[in-house]
């Protein structure tokens, strides 16, 4: 499960990459797109590296006029990022509803047992 900052970065990378095969972006541009002022460039570099290690995208570091640039291409796990997010929300709602209904059921059974005994 991704952290809040990793989710923000992955969402922005997905939105930028979904029409293209590859994305060429500098860390400062990515930081601007993400819009989170609390993320430093070193944290952003770690987050991008971690997402690449997790298999969301293929990452190649490049150099453009002395500036570090990320060359990112989404892998299958990265292409299914939003679908996975939707499935996780659906499972969470299902578990909450199941827990609530089981709690209600046990409460009713408890009331019935008190009336009997």
Quickly tell me which residue has 């199941």 as its tokens.
Answer: 98
- The low-confidence residues of the chain, meaning pLDDT below 50, are none
Question: pLDDT of 8-26, one tens digit each?
Answer: 899 989 988 877 878 898 8
User: Which of 80, 75, 30 has the alpha carbon at shortest distance from 57?
Assistant: 75
Which pTM was predicted? 0.77
Query: What confidence score (pLDDT) does residue 37 get?
Result: 76
């Amino acid at each position: 499960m991704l952290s809040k900052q990793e989710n923000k970065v992955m969402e922005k990378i997905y939105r930028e990459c979904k029409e293209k095969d590859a994305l060429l972006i500098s860390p400062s541009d990515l930081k601007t797109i993400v819009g989170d002022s609390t993320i430093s460039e070193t944290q952003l570099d770690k987050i991008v590296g971690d997402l690449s290690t997790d298999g969301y995208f293929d990452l190649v570091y490049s150099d453009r006029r002395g500036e570090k640039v990320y060359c990112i291409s989404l892998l299958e796990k990265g292409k299914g990022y939003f679908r996975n997010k939707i499935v996780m929300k659906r499972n969470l709602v299902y578990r909450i509803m199941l827990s609530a209904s089981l709690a209600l059921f046990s409460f009713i059974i408890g009331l019935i047992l008190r009336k009997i005994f």
